[in-house]
Homo-oligomer: A and B are copies of this chain.
Amino acid sequence: MMTIKRLDIADAQKLIAGARDKAVEIGVPMCIAITDESGNLVAFERMDGGKVTSITIAIDKSFTASGAKKATHEYGDASQPGAPAYGIASAINGRLMVVGGGLPVIVDGEVVGGIGISSGTPAQDVTVAQGGLDAFLASL
């Protein structure tokens, strides 16, 4: 039997609040998704003005970050044409996201969940995901 650490809904709300604050700060309304360490959705918020197409993208970025235990942008280089993971972007029915904006939530060295952001540029999405992560980690 294994013992697993998983973020709870209170943790998810802190992650969302931190991301929302950062999104307001940079002036880009975002879709914000939080998954648990198994990739299942825990909480989601589409800020007023967040993009409809970004609903699934935010959820899948979070799924990828928690399930693969790394930031989605880390797949960026590895999945370029000619690189070893080229083609991975369409895996799992397209759920495997290689675009920036998904970060694993790591506590004491363990992945306990993920955060996925979409509606801005990938750089903005990463910034907002990091904002959520920073706020959450500061609260521990």
Indicate if the CB atoms of A48 and B89 lie closer than 8 Å.
no
Indicate if the CB atoms of A46 and B87 lie closer than 8 Å.
no
Find chain B residues with CB under 8 A from A63 CB: 53
Task: State the copy count for this chain.
Answer: 4
Q: A42-B46, A84-B123 are in contact. Are A94 and B97 (CB under 8 A)?
A: no
Bound: A2/B51 CA distance, A: 15
> What is the interface residue range for chain A against chain B?
35 or more
Min CB gap A76→B, angstroms: 7
A1-36: CB near B (< 8 Å → 1, else 0) gives 111111111011000000000000000000000001
Min CB gap A98→B, angstroms: 4
